[in-house]
């Protein structure tokens, strides 16, 4: 067996897709794997044509070997039959291997394209499309797109085999050759009227399935709240109603699809009957030999395969077209933050970060806190410095506008840790360091700094422990500490921590606050918090009201001199 070179998935970069139309997107996918598709087509043609020529060899064996009682000739043609069978088996195996490879490449390229776009667009995408619908597109539509490239080689083989058989028949009988040459595409065209309703019903069913997935995702996410207010029955009824809508939409697909599936059997059978009848008549008239009739019958039987393959390809491409439309619905949503036309190179170190709008200035190596009246104000500020919003006018890095740097460089050097941390399923070691390039001793140091070693001690497999989905096996405080350790391990030039200790007790918070400076080293850290335990460890604290700095200093200075600080942090009456 010939082994193809191993190609790791996913690829390093999927490329920039053509989003002008579903067809252009499918062509873009094909261009990226044109070599594999061409090689697959070669084996597909060899596989299909060898099946057709098999009947010519059988007919020749009957006419030249059996009818003429020539044992030597018979053995020659039997050898040809065996050779064609072996060649067919080889081409079939390679065709299948390459078909699966093309399918997986197309599907995973689509998954990567969606994943990259999700990371660029952020909340702009989920504001327009429910998260469950996006997941459904990745899980279902990407696979359907891959399916079109899976059938491609067989479709190419079907076309070439049909041409070869037609010319063989034309050279033997012009009448039969024309019937096959004209009859196959004519019969295939009878399925065309079913394409539009199939396309429409598949799109409607896919839309309904997406809404069902979104409803299920939202219900699971809010399950505790639903139970608390007794709303399970209401959401169960909604889910049943939407499930029934999906079922009915699926039933409507059955009519055009059943017509196509039936055509795969009926239309080739009609062609087989016509060719067999006319061939038998020619034998009776003496214009055909017995072996030729056997070959003609074989051709007629064989032609069911190309015709079925053509119909299968139409169904697969229709599904892929619908799936590509769903993918483009995602890809055509513009991100909130755009890339600069000519990005500047990122500086070697961040010496100074300034936000002219608020008056906040961060200097390299500082541990700075931001105190705001509400958590929402702190989140807005973190989003500005992290460049998660389009309005970052006035934010500079070493005197250069933050908007002039690429998003890739910004995300690599400025990390924002959210107030509600999320953990994904997988090995804990790779949850903390996704790229797996950090030594375990560095991980242990970060866990110690974030007071998380007790979490590790309770796990039987330590860093090798498998984390369940969303980290649900950990408490809220444990998830927050592990998330903080993950943020620290990025070694970001600027680390912005939004309420990093809101879910832990006072003693744990004190240990984290005391160790944060040491683990961050020369890098700059900004913490948004109203906890006195955390604020006591800060080099500088900014008090921000209505988006502007009104006071600044250390915890001791502000507790003495700032009424606003005392009101927000120490809960004094105004």
Residue 480 makes CB contacts below 8 A (sequence gap 6+) with 421, 500, 501, 502, 503, 504
Query: So what's the pLDDT on residue 456?
Result: 83
For residue 432, the model assigns a pLDDT of 85
Structure token pair of residue 44: 């597909």
Find the helix packing angle between 22-32 and 142-172, rounded to 10°. 80
Q: Who's near 421: CB < 8 A, 6+ residues apart? A: 479, 480, 482, 483, 484, 486
pLDDT by residue for the chain (574 residues), tens only, comes to: 455 555 666 677 888 899 999 999 999 999 988 888 999 999 999 898 888 888 777 777 776 666 566 677 777 877 888 888 898 889 888 988 888 889 988 988 998 998 888 877 877 777 787 777 777 788 788 888 998 999 899 999 988 988 887 787 777 777 777 776 677 667 666 666 655 666 567 666 666 666 666 666 655 555 554 455 455 666 667 667 777 777 777 677 667 667 766 766 677 677 777 777 777 777 677 666 766 667 766 776 677 778 778 878 888 888 899 889 989 998 998 888 888 889 999 999 999 999 998 999 999 999 999 999 988 899 889 989 999 888 888 999 999 999 999 988 998 999 998 777 677 778 888 888 877 677 888 889 988 998 888 888 888 888 888 887 777 778 888 888 888 999 999 889 999 999 888 888 888 899 999 899 889 989 999 999 999 999 999 999 999 998 899 999 999 999 999 999 999 998 877 6
Q: What is the pLDDT of residue 529?
A: 93
Q: Please, which residues have CB within 8 angstroms of residue 151's CB and are 6 or more apart in sequence?
A: 99, 309, 312, 313, 316, 317
pTM score, two decimals?
A: 0.65
H-run or E-run covering 484: helix 476-488
Q: Verify cis geometry, omega within 30 degrees of 0, for the bond prior to 535.
A: no
3-state helix, strand, coil in the chain (%, to 5): 65, 10, 25
The residues spanned by each domain of the chain are 22-331, 352-569
Tell me the DSSP string of 209-266. HHHHHHHHHHHHHTHHHHHHHT-HHHHHHHHHHHHHHHHHHHHHHHHHHHHHHHHHHH
**Residues 105, 290: contact at Cβ < 8 Å?**
no
Q: How far apart are CA 328 and CA 321, in angstroms?
A: 10
Q: Which fold has domain 22-331?
A: ABC transporter transmembrane region fold (1.20.1560)
pLDDT of 337: 82
Q: What is the pLDDT of residue 549?
A: 94
Torsion (CA) 497, 501, 507, 512 in degrees, nearest 10? -20
Compute, in degrees rounded to 10, the torsion defined by CA atoms 456, 458, 462, 464. -110
What length does the chain have?
Answer: 574
Sheet containing 494-498: order of strands: 414-417, 494-498, 524-528, 367-372, 540-545, 548-553
What is the rounded CA–CA span in Å between residue 353 and residue 372? 19
Q: Which residues contact 324 (CB under 8 A, 6 or more apart)?
A: 22, 23, 25, 26, 141, 145
Please state which CATH number belongs to domain 352-569: 3.40.50.300
CA 378 to CA 529: how far, in whole Å?
8
Q: How far is CA 106 from CA 24, 142, 144, in A?
A: 14, 8, 10
The answer to whether the beta carbons of residues 295 and 179 sit under 8 Å apart is no
β-pair type (352-355, 395-397): antiparallel
Please provide the DSSP assignment of 155-219 as one string: HHHHHHHHHHHHHHHHHH-HHHHHHHHHHHHHHHHTTGGGHHHHHHHHHHHHHHHHHHHHHHHHH
Instruction: Name which of 501, 416, 494 is nearest 451 in CA terms.
Output: 501
**How far apart (Å, rounded) are the C-alpha atoms in residues 480 and 469?**
15
Residue 289 corresponds to which tokens in the numbers above?
């030999």
Determine the pLDDT at residue 226: 46
The pLDDT of residue 72 is 74
* Alpha carbons 151 and 46: distance in angstroms, whole number: 15
């Amino acid at each position: 067996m010939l082994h193809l070179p191993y190609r790791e998935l996913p690829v390093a970069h999927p490329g920039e897709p053509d989003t002008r139309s579903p067809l252009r997107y499918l062509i873009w996918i094909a261009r990226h794997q044109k070599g594999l598709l061409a090689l697959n087509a070669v084996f597909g043609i060899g596989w299909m044509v060898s099946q057709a020529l098999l009947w010519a060899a059988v007919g020749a064996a009957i006419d030249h070997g059996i009818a003429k009682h020539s044992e030597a000739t018979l053995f020659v043609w039997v050898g040809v039959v065996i050779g064609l069978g072996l060649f067919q088996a080889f081409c079939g195996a390679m065709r299948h291997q390459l078909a699966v490879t093309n399918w997986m490449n197309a599907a995973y390229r689509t998954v990567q394209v969606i994943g990259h776009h999700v990371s660029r667009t952020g909340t702009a995408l989920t504001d327009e499309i429910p998260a469950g619908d996006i997941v459904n597109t990745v899980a279902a539509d990407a696979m359907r797109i891959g399916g079109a490239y899976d059938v491609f080689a067989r479709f190419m083989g079907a076309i070439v085999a049909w041409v070869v058989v037609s010319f063989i028949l034309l050279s033997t009988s012009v009448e039969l050759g024309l019937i096959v040459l004209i009859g196959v595409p004519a019969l295939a065209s009878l399925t065309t009227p079913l394409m539009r309703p199939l396309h429409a019903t598949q799109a409607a069913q896919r839309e309904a399935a997406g809404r069902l997935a979104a409803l299920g995702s939202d219900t699971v996410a809010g399950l505790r709240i639903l139970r608390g207010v007794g709303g399970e029955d209401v959401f169960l009824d909604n889910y049943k109603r939407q499930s029934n809508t999906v079922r009915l939409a699926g039933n409507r697909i059955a009519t055009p699809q059943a017509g196509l599936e039936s055509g795969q059997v009926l239309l080739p059978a009609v062609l087989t009957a016509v060719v067999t009848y006319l061939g038998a008549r020619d034998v009776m008239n003496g214009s055909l030999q017995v072996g030729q009739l056997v070959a003609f019958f074989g051709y007629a039987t064989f032609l069911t395969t190309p015709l079925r393959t053509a119909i299968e390809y139409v169904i697969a491409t229709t599904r892929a077209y619908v799936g590509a439309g769903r993918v483009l619905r995602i890809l055509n949503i513009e991100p909130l933050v755009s890339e600069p036309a000519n990005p500047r190179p990122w500086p070697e170190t961040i010496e100074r970060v300034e936000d002219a709008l608020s008056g906040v200035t961060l200097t390299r190596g500082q541990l700075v806190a931001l105190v705001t009246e509400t958590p929402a104000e702190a989140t807005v500020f973190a989003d500005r410095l992290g460049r998660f919003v389009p309005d970052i006018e006035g934010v500079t890095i070493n005197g250069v506008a933050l908007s002039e740097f690429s998003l890739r460089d910004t995300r690599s050097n400025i990390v924002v840790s959210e107030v509600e941390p999320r953990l994904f399923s997988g090995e804990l070691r790779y949850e903390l360091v996704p790229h797996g390039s950090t030594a375990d001793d560095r991980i242990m140091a970060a866990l110690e700094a974030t007071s998380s070693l007790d979490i590790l001690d309770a796990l039987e497999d330590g860093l090798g422990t498998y984390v369940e989905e969303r980290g649900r096996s950990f408490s809220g405080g444990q998830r927050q500490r592990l998330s903080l350790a993950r943020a620290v391990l990025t070694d970001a030039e600027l680390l912005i921590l939004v309420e990093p200790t809101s879910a832990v007790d006072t003693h744990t918070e004190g240990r984290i606050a005391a160790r944060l400076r040491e683990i961050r080293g020369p890098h700059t850290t900004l913490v948004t918090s109203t906890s006195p335990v955390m604020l006591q460890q800060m080099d500088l604290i900014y008090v921000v009201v209505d988006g502007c700095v009104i006071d600044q200093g250390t915890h001791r200075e502000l507790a003495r001199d700032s009424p606003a600080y005392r009101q927000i942090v120490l809960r004094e009456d105004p």
